[in-house]
Amino acid sequence: MHKLADTDDLKALARRISLVENSAPGYEQLLEQLPAGGNTRVVGITGPPGAGKSTLVNLLIQTLLEQQKRIAIIAVDPSSPFNFGALLGDRIRMSQHFNDPRVFIRSMANRGALGGLSPKIIEVSDVIKAARFDYLFIETVGVGQSEVEIAGIADTTVVVVVPEAGDEIQTMKAGLMEIADIFVVNKADRDNADAFVKNLRLLSAERHHAKADWQIPVLKTIATRNEGIEPLIQAIDKHQQQIRHHERHAVLLAEKAWQLIQHRRMQHLDKKALIQKVQEQLQQDAFNLYRLVNDYSA
């Protein structure tokens, strides 16, 4: 595929993504023809709500554009369990970049994935990578399973937290600490920020053995003042260079294959039809969830 150069190419990319998202006829052939390799840096941005992830991504975009880079963003939005639609909009969060031909923004609903990522996000990411962007940022809402799943999709996972998360440090040891390649303490001008950074660095040092020869950096940013963005980009690039020739690359690809196989095996299931089936069986006194599951699994 040729390198995107103008808005017409961006529209063509959007059409290809829609083809994949909707599993339209021919989408599997499109995916099978995607070129191998590529140098797009895939960066996951996650963390608890209110940490300033969108502001941080905006500043990353702005700084990278000044470096003549081309950037794509997938903003993963929560879905309504009733209509499966996105509740947040990329145009609102990143409006200043929306009309820039060097930036491609796509909002994806998680489509009822119980707080996790959209089942199509791996395929959409690969379609975007084939368009030869320099960076692809995947920003999650930072709730539930999405924080863990993003580590199986992104080459580099950036976890954004704020000093107020200090009380949750033990929880982080069992959760976000497991997936972070880079920690960012945003809003670092707030009280207790230095103490929180110190504790986080101690914890990241404990996790050093799990990340092989990568020491998880803990960086301070103040996104509202555009502070700390350049060191964050440098840390992302350093991590990307290291993993491209590391065994973890094969592990990431195997994880993606595992998820895709799971989704393909379940694609014949219609969730709305399942809801209808549950509603019908609830009218019966002897409803049993596991009998229903066994019927579908047979």
**Domain boundaries, given as residue ranges, for the chain:** 7-267, 269-298
pLDDT in tens, 68-98: 999 999 988 655 444 444 444 444 555 667 6
Give the DSSP per-residue string, 96-151. GGTT-TTEEEEEEE--S-TTS--TTHHHHHHHHHHTT-SEEEEE----TTHHHHGG
Query: What number of other Cβ atoms are within 10 A of residue 250's Cβ?
Result: 9
Give the E-state strand segments of 131-275 in sequence order.
Answer: 135-139, 156-161, 182-185, 218-220
The pLDDT value given to residue 247: 66
The pLDDT value given to residue 78: 58
pTM for the model stands at 0.82
Query: Rg (Cα) of the chain, in Å, rounded?
Result: 20
Q: Which residue, among 108, 36, 23, has the nearest Cα to 72 in the 3D structure?
A: 108
The pLDDT value given to residue 3: 46
The pLDDT value given to residue 20: 92
| Amino acid making up residue 296 | Y
Correct CATH for 7-267 of 3.40.120.10, 3.30.450.20, 3.20.20.80, 3.40.50.300: 3.40.50.300
Positions in the chain whose pLDDT score sits under 50: 1-5, 80-91, 113-115, 209
The pLDDT value given to residue 5: 47
Query: What number of other Cβ atoms are within 10 A of residue 157's Cβ?
Result: 24
Phi and psi angles of residue 39, each rounded to the nearest 5 degrees, phi first = -115, 15
In the structure encoding, which two tokens stand for residue 280, read together?
């019908």
